[in-house]
Copies of this chain bind each other. A is one copy, B any other.
Amino acid sequence: MPVTSRPATILEVARDAGVSKTSVSRYYSGERERLSASMQQRIVQAAERLGYQPNPMARGLKGGPSGLVGMLVADIRNPFSVAVMHGVEQACRRQGLSLMVCNTDNDPTLEHRNLSLLTSYRIEGLIVNAAGRHGDALAELAGDGLPLVLLDRSLEGIDADEVGLDNDRAIDMALDHLTEQGYRRVLFVTEPPARASSRQARMARFEANHASHGLEGEVLSLELGDTAGLDHGLSAFLDTSDGHPAAILCGNGQVTLAVTRALQARRIPLGDTGLMGIDELDWCQLVTPGITTLAQPTDAIGQAAVDRLRARQAERATPEPRHERFTPTLIPRASTCRSGTEDLDTTPDETRP
């Protein structure tokens, strides 16, 4: 069964098997039950012999199912996105679907272009983890009946299924943990929330709830590349030493990276100054003395996204959109362990292989 250059056509298989092309088509379109055993056998044999593979182009042209799921990713270099993508992919595989991933590099133009690309290939569902400035295009697609799942984002004006972290829960868990560890002041660092709803949600929850946890809270919002602003913001926060133990909470993995760099540059030891991040990354355990994180169940999130897609496909009638929120796992490490408190976790863990 070679992957040949000029693949055999359904007609050739039919001839070779001495049956009609319709029958061969039926065999490959999941209507095998309708075929007699002998015919099925002749078809497989002929197909095997000729190395036949259905041509998805022709199939897609006629309107048949493509078996293709599309995914729009805002930033392929974001480990969280990649982890979820991996989950999505596994789930697709289990369902016999193929995944076509497009990276938008946070560029609305590219996003639009990739969207057209995907739709032109007659995808059966779309998973979106991108900025979505062009919400209108997405909305239209959803309106046209394309199953749509928003990953880690909401988009105003779009009533699509959503899958992602339980942001409120995550922030509460972080605040709980920081409180327990004896911190009194917390700086929440986030990328500009305007473009992503999850950032907004986390920030809003932080602002709403830090006080009730007995914490003084501040928010620092800036672009990832703005190291000067970050330095300045951290200084401003940390230098206000009213004696209350201070911690920094990072809104996502990328922020954790930037903040860790900034703290190291200022040679601020972690622990007395607390550091905690949303998103677990390879290196969080390695940076002395280990960085406390809230790990997202990325595989489960990916799986859930695909499940939603299937569900949508199944029910022809569009039900009210469903939101699925996952609870993170707290991975406590010594970056949120003030000296004087007992060591939390100085032996390396094995959270990731």
**Is B140 a contact of A2 with CB atoms below 8 Å?**
yes
> Per-position contact with B for A252-280: 1 when CB-CB < 8 Å, else 0?
00000100110011000000000000000
Q: A116 to chain B: which residues have CB within 8 Å? A: 3, 53
> Per-position contact with B for A198-240: 1 when CB-CB < 8 Å, else 0?
0000000000000000000000000011010000000000000
CA distance A225 to B350 in the complex (A): 11
Contacting chain B: which of A20-28, A82-90, A325-333? Answer: A82-90
Q: A353 to chain B: which residues have CB within 8 Å? A: 224-225
Does A35 lie at the interface of the complex (its beta carbon under 8 Å from any beta carbon of B)?
Answer: no
Does A241 lie at the interface of the complex (its beta carbon under 8 Å from any beta carbon of B)?
Answer: no
**Is A93 a contact of B77 with CB atoms below 8 Å?**
no
Among A273-314, those with CB < 8 Å from B are 281-283, 285-288
Stoichiometry, copies per complex: 2
Q: Which of A61, A257, A260, A350 has the most CB of B within 10 A?
A: A61
- Range of interface residues on A (Cβ < 8 Å): 35 or more
Among the listed B4, B140, B288, B347, which residue makes an inter-chain contact with A3, where contact means beta carbons less than 8 Å apart?
Answer: B140
Known: A120-B56, A260-B286. A3 touches B61 (CB 8 A): no
Does A137 lie at the interface of the complex (its beta carbon under 8 Å from any beta carbon of B)?
Answer: yes
Known: A57-B122, A76-B85. A265 touches B347 (CB 8 A): yes
Q: A93 to chain B: which residues have CB within 8 Å? A: 110
CA distance A266 to B288 in the complex (A): 14
Contacting chain B: which of A38-46, A95-103, A147-155, A176-184? Answer: A95-103
Q: Which of A3, A115, A117, A145 has the most CB of B within 10 A?
A: A3
CA distance A310 to B30 in the complex (A): 39
Does A37 lie at the interface of the complex (its beta carbon under 8 Å from any beta carbon of B)?
Answer: no
Does A173 lie at the interface of the complex (its beta carbon under 8 Å from any beta carbon of B)?
Answer: no
Q: A115 to chain B: which residues have CB within 8 Å? A: 3
**Is B4 a contact of A144 with CB atoms below 8 Å?**
yes
Whose C-beta in chain B lies nearest to the C-beta of A120? B56
Does A60 lie at the interface of the complex (its beta carbon under 8 Å from any beta carbon of B)?
Answer: yes
Identify the A interface with B (CB < 8 A).
2-5, 7, 53, 55-58, 60-61, 76-77, 79, 82-83, 85-86, 89-90, 93, 98-103, 105, 110, 112, 114-117, 119-122, 136-137, 140-141, 144-146, 224-225, 227, 257, 260-261, 264-265, 281-283, 285-288, 347-348, 350, 353
The contact sample of 5 A-B pairs, CB cut-off 8 A, is A3-B115, A57-B57, A77-B82, A265-B348, A282-B283
Beyond the given A77-B82, A261-B285, could you list 9 further A-B residue pairs with CB under 8 A, ordered by the A residue number? A3-B115, A3-B140, A4-B144, A57-B57, A101-B101, A227-B350, A257-B283, A260-B286, A288-B288
